[in-house]
Amino acid sequence: MLAEYDVIVVGAGHAGCEAATAAANLGSSVLLITMDMNKIAQMSCNPAIGGIAKGQIVREIDALGGYTGIVTDRSSIQFRMLNRSKGPAMWSPRAQCDRMVFSAEWRRVVENTDHLDMWQDAVVGLLFENEKVVGVKTKLGIDIKSKSVVLTNGTFLNGLMHVGRKQEMGGRSSEPASLGISEQLKSIGFEVGRMKTGTPARLDARSIDFSVMKRQDGEEDFHQFSYLTNHVDKELIQRPCYITYTNPEVHSELELGFEESPMYDGTIQSTGPRYCPSIESKLTTFAEKKEHLLFLEPEGETTHEYYINGFSSSLAWDIQLNGLRKVPGLENVKMYRPGYAIEYDYFAPTQLFHTLETKLIENLFFAGQINGTTGYEEAGAQGMMAGINASLKVQNRDPFTLKRDEAYIGVLIDDLVTKGVDEPYRMFTSRAEYRILLRQDDADVRLTPRAFELGLASQERMDLLTEKIEFRNKLIDFCKEFGVKPKYINAVLEDLGTSPLKQGMKFYDVILRPQVHIIDFIDTILPLRELLESIPNRRDEIVEAAEVLIKYSGYIEREKLIADKLIRLERIVITDRFDYTSLQSLSTEARQKLDKIKPETIGQASRIPGVSPSDINVLLVLMGR
């Protein structure tokens, strides 16, 4: 450890690891302080990365030069592209991971990052000077100085765990809570709230009858999370998941425990994630439903430990067990541990700029679960953005933010800082206005050039991207120019179940048909084959990218137009232009909200709940527009 760092990151969870590596890779000297170096990037809940909208975020993190994608690829024991039957805006990669390998691989990345030191200890407070943060205080009694601090404490701030009527302080099962930080920040004016999340029981596979469940295997194709090519040394053994269901008997068993449940007896007051509810919440919210879907997911390459997705619970342990034993296939199940709920402190994210720096204290950044989000991916994305901006600020460089039409990460952060949260925030495709622009296949096209310019994405990434764009465009041009004749391709078309051509046309127009894919003609169209074979890297991905652009060009263009229009509004900067409290022509609510959020642009102002279009007009008029 040195006497002073440019950036101190507190907590080596999903947010902290991305923050620390990003800041260090931008050349700042970084210290990553975490309670337990054996639990780096521990997956607190299910061992899976990605999924709907979250998968896109991981692709974006990767495109920016982050590591969640690389680590996921290295620890994946099952990969699937969700929503393949829908349009490409919805395609979402998801991987089951080996929990221990995931953590070990993240540790390897962190350890091998230049300018990045690690220190095992707990931060108990921050050091301030003139309303700026200047370092941290640790449990070992050390004051460590720094030019900026990124807090990523996850669920640890005053964490309180519940299983039935049993309560215990802790940041996660068998890990101590973090005390001191929220009290200190509250005392200097930060708004601190309380949220809740939960996790299901872990089961011993040897006591499960998988034969009565539906098996779900992964996909064996070219997809992965990272846009890099040679980052996986050793593929892990692939493992299936299993699907089963609850039933009324299960529900009755569980209901016996409601009286003793901390959710119902008023012990737990804070809000949990509506979209990831506990099984007891599902039983009350959807009382009419006779069954709920459950996934049995392996926790690793060889372990017998299974995660039971859909059965998160803070009911008493025996109620959980009795309920589980009524599930088909789990009649004799043995638990390794019961599910539990955890309550923890978060900071209302409207207290942040888009850079994730706090408005109250200069050089202090917040990222991850403490901003009211839930999910590894959301945490990682924020960590990366906070790390980047902490580093840029130290170096007196311009901040780096992403727009809503550029990235889900842009949507995420804009939602957080503009709208705030009233329940744990997770990403959905529906939160994005420009979904077709934010696809998983082109996060590199959207973001790598920006990250490369910043000095974060490597030359290798940039070269791969340049090559991808070159061949993608070549392929599109080929499709546009190449004419196909009925006699050569009709046989293929018929095989694909689509009507034969009556006359020649451009290959491009054939590809527009939903049933048809470029690759189907590799044996029929020789010049196509030659072109495809000339692609040195990531051929399948490039073909997919080209095809998406061809098939969805109409939608894409339309969304771009709308986005451009709105972006003009977005770009009108209003930071520090108004004293909102004195603008009597605004509605009272708008006055208050605008004063609280202090939006940076008209676009952001327009998204604040309670600020109406007429309020926006008032602002535009005042600016002479």
Ligand X SMILES: Cc1cc2nc3c(=O)[nH]c(=O)nc-3n(C[C@H](O)[C@H](O)[C@H](O)COP(=O)(O)OP(=O)(O)OC[C@H]3O[C@@H](n4cnc5c(N)ncnc54)[C@H](O)[C@@H]3O)c2cc1C
Q: Which is nearer to a second copy, 327 or 516 (CB)?
A: 327
Please choose which of a second copy, ligand X, none residue 540 contacts, taking the beta carbon within 5 to 8 angstroms, the exact cut-off set by kind.
none
In the list 369, 418, 601, 606, the residue contacting ligand X (rule: CB under 6 A) is 369
SS3 of residue 471 by DSSP? helix
Interface characters, 528-567, with ligand X (x: CB under 6 A): ----------------------------------------
For residue 618, CA distances in Å to 568, 581, 600 come to: 17, 14, 16
CB of 144 to a second copy, least distance (A): 11
SS3 of residue 156 by DSSP? coil
- The residue among 461, 453, 465, 466 whose CA lies nearest residue 388 is 453
Per rule CB under 6 A, is residue 56 in the interface with ligand X?
no
Residues in CB range of 555: below 8 A, 6 or more apart: 87, 436
Q: Is-contact 55 41, C-beta < 8 A?
A: no
Indicate the burial class of 303 (C-beta count within 10 angstroms; 0-12, 13-18, 19 or more).
middle
Interface characters, 160-199, with a second copy (x: CB under 8 A): ---xxxx-x-x--xxxx-----------------------
Q: Is 304 annotated as a binding residue?
A: no
Per rule CB under 6 A, is residue 489 in the interface with ligand X?
no
Q: Which of residues 397-416 bind ligand X (CB under 6 A)?
A: none
CB of 224 to ligand X, least distance (A): 21
Which segment (35-43, 270-278, 389-397, 526-534) binds a second copy by CB under 8 A?
35-43
Q: Which is nearer to a second copy, 31 or 57 (CB)?
A: 31
Per rule CB under 8 A, is residue 488 in the interface with a second copy?
no
For strands 305-309 and 202-204, give the pairing. Answer: antiparallel
In the list 142, 360, 505, 563, the residue contacting a second copy (rule: CB under 8 A) is 142
Q: Which is nearer to ligand X, 343 or 559 (CB)?
A: 343
Torsion of the alpha carbons at 269, 274, 276 and 281, rounded to the nearest 10: 60
Per rule CB under 6 A, is residue 51 in the interface with ligand X?
no
Task: Retrieve residue 500's tokens.
Answer: 């034969």
- The residue among 456, 467, 463 whose CA lies nearest residue 541 is 467
Beta bridge pairs of residue 340 = 199
Q: Is 273 annotated as a binding residue?
A: yes
Q: Is 171 annotated as a binding residue?
A: no
Q: Whose structure tokens read 């050793």? A: 234
Q: Which of residues 134-193 bind ligand X (CB under 6 A)?
A: 152-156, 171-172, 178, 181
Ramachandran assignment for 75, one of left (phi > 0), alpha (psi -120 to 50 degrees), beta (any other): alpha
| Torsion 348-350-353-359 (CA) sign | negative
Q: Is 272 annotated as a binding residue?
A: yes
Please choose which of a second copy, ligand X, none residue 38 contacts, taking the beta carbon within 5 to 8 angstroms, the exact cut-off set by kind.
a second copy
Q: Is-contact 244 288, C-beta < 8 A?
A: no
Q: Is-contact 303 50, C-beta < 8 A?
A: no
In the list 9, 31, 70, 123, the residue contacting ligand X (rule: CB under 6 A) is 123
Which segment (185-193, 220-228, 278-286, 302-310) binds a second copy by CB under 8 A?
302-310
Which segment (11-19, 114-122, 369-377, 413-421) binds a second copy by CB under 8 A?
114-122
Per rule CB under 8 A, is residue 36 in the interface with a second copy?
yes
Per rule CB under 8 A, is residue 120 in the interface with a second copy?
yes
DSSP letter at 178 equals B
HEC assignment per residue over 250-297: HHHHHHCCHHHCCCCCCCCCCECCCCCCCHHHHHHHCCCCCCCEEEEE
CB of 424 to ligand X, least distance (A): 8
d(CA 327, CA 248): 10
CB of 157 to ligand X, least distance (A): 7
- The residue among 220, 286, 258, 235 whose CA lies nearest residue 79 is 220
Q: Is 340 annotated as a binding residue?
A: no
Q: Is 295 annotated as a binding residue?
A: no
Q: Count Cβ atoms below 10 Å from residue 211 Cβ, excluding itself.
A: 8
Give how many residues touch ligand X by CB under 6 A: 38
Q: Is 178 annotated as a binding residue?
A: yes
Q: Which is nearer to a second copy, 104 or 572 (CB)?
A: 104
d(CA 289, CA 580): 49
Please choose which of a second copy, ligand X, none residue 74 contacts, taking the beta carbon within 5 to 8 angstroms, the exact cut-off set by kind.
none
Residues in CB range of 547: below 8 A, 6 or more apart: 511, 517, 518
Please choose which of a second copy, ligand X, none residue 152 contacts, taking the beta carbon within 5 to 8 angstroms, the exact cut-off set by kind.
ligand X
Q: Is-contact 341 314, C-beta < 8 A?
A: yes
Q: Is 285 annotated as a binding residue?
A: yes
CB of 112 to ligand X, least distance (A): 19
Q: Is 390 annotated as a binding residue?
A: no
Please choose which of ligand X, a second copy, none residue 374 contacts, taking the beta carbon within 5 to 8 angstroms, the exact cut-off set by kind.
ligand X
d(CA 290, CA 273): 22
Residues in CB range of 50: below 8 A, 6 or more apart: 58, 72, 92, 93, 94, 95, 225, 377
Per rule CB under 8 A, is residue 42 in the interface with a second copy?
yes
Please choose which of a second copy, ligand X, none residue 303 contacts, taking the beta carbon within 5 to 8 angstroms, the exact cut-off set by kind.
a second copy
Q: Is-contact 215 240, C-beta < 8 A?
A: yes
Per rule CB under 6 A, is residue 35 in the interface with ligand X?
yes
Per rule CB under 6 A, is residue 31 in the interface with ligand X?
no
Task: Retrieve residue 480's tokens.
Answer: 């546009």
Q: Is 15 annotated as a binding residue?
A: yes
Strands, DSSP E only, in 24-129?
A: 30-34, 48-50, 76-82, 92-97, 116-120, 123-129
Q: Is-contact 41 419, C-beta < 8 A?
A: no
Q: Is 277 annotated as a binding residue?
A: yes
Please choose which of ligand X, a second copy, none residue 362 contacts, taking the beta carbon within 5 to 8 angstroms, the exact cut-off set by kind.
none
Please choose which of ligand X, a second copy, none residue 153 contacts, taking the beta carbon within 5 to 8 angstroms, the exact cut-off set by kind.
ligand X
The residues of the shown chain that bind a second copy, judged by CB under 8 A, are 1-2, 35-39, 42, 100, 104, 107-108, 111-112, 117-122, 139-142, 163-166, 168, 170, 173-176, 202, 204, 302-305, 316-318, 321, 334-338
Binding-site members for NAD(+) are 272-286
The residues of the shown chain that bind ligand X, judged by CB under 6 A, are 10-16, 33-36, 39, 44-45, 122-123, 152-156, 171-172, 178, 181, 197-199, 276, 312, 342, 368-369, 374-376, 379, 426
Binding-site members are 11-16, 123, 178, 272-286, 369
Binding-site members for FAD are 11-16, 123, 178, 369
